[in-house]
Copies of this chain bind each other. A is one copy, B any other.
């Protein structure tokens, strides 16, 4: 932590600030410039609230130097994390495509979609069984039946599967069926859930909260990592801004800026970011061109009758077209799909 003090502050007051810093447990190094005294306060604990120092009389400004997270930080672990799911690796040269319906609706639907996405090159099948819906009157998912069908479809077509967890009490049930836990943006701050996922051996895909800063996102990853689970995949899925034409604002540059800070792999989800089918393909291409490690899209063969988020699901032929284009783009940037 760096504490800036006005050079004209009486010596006794400067000493009082240093005293306070010592009381908070810091070692203080002082260097005096032309206008300011800079106090380097070393030994800050990750959970320390720097507002405590901002409010000491005579303090002009305070900056945190150490990041508030540790295990998620590139400074702590410079090598990229490779998340392995069976024979797949997320975070390596290959860009992994995750596809499937928003929600598992019935056996016929999920089997059909598994076949479709597999054929075009997806490696992981998505499908919700417990849905966090904005309206209490909307379809809330098939529950365990949905998990079984998802697993069956994955096994049948040689796809790993990912499904969302929305409350701690579902943990054991979902762990039995899924290969990857998905934590949705609405649960990015659900710390009891994240702690529990820290105890799993299965990877966790952590979506960014709708208005989460990069640091908050990594703090949530830290909850999982601190619990002993190193396999976290971050997922950008659109943020909330003043612009409301589309569902959210797809913050593609976050894929790049989060990688400046962390070793964890990053996925992009244009379906939730955009919300309208006709714009998903261009934004999927953009995500691959920007350098994502994985891509998640929703696909449905009968979106008009989908029980949730039909309007943002790609049609099978659109998915196929998308896959062709992003494969070609991946090659241009030295990666593969």
A residues contacting B by CB (< 8 A) are 2, 4, 6, 27, 29, 31-36, 38, 40, 42-43, 45-47, 49, 51-52, 54-55, 60-61, 63, 65-66, 68-69, 75, 132-139, 166-169, 186-187, 189-193, 195, 209-211, 213-214, 216, 219, 222-223, 226, 239-246, 249-254, 256-257, 260, 273-279, 282-283, 285-291, 304, 308-312, 325, 328-329, 332-333
Contact = CB atoms under 8 A, between A and B. Distances in A.
Contacts of A241: 239, 241-242, 249, 251
B279 A311 contact: no
Contact of A311 (B52, B187, B191, B223): B52
Contacts of A244: 213, 242, 244
Contact of A167 (B46, B168, B211): B168
19 contacts: A2-B63, A29-B31, A29-B32, A36-B42, A47-B135, A49-B309, A49-B311, A132-B191, A187-B190, A210-B211, A241-B242, A241-B251, A252-B252, A253-B273, A253-B279, A256-B282, A285-B333, A329-B329, A332-B332
A56 to B, nearest CB: 9
B65 A38 contact: yes
Given A186-B190, A187-B189, 13 more contacts: A38-B38, A45-B137, A46-B137, A49-B310, A51-B275, A55-B276, A63-B63, A135-B219, A136-B195, A136-B226, A243-B251, A249-B249, A325-B332
Contact of A243 (B27, B42, B214): B214
A283 B253 contact: yes
A167 B190 CA distance: 8
Contacts of A254: 243, 245
Contacts of A35: 42, 66
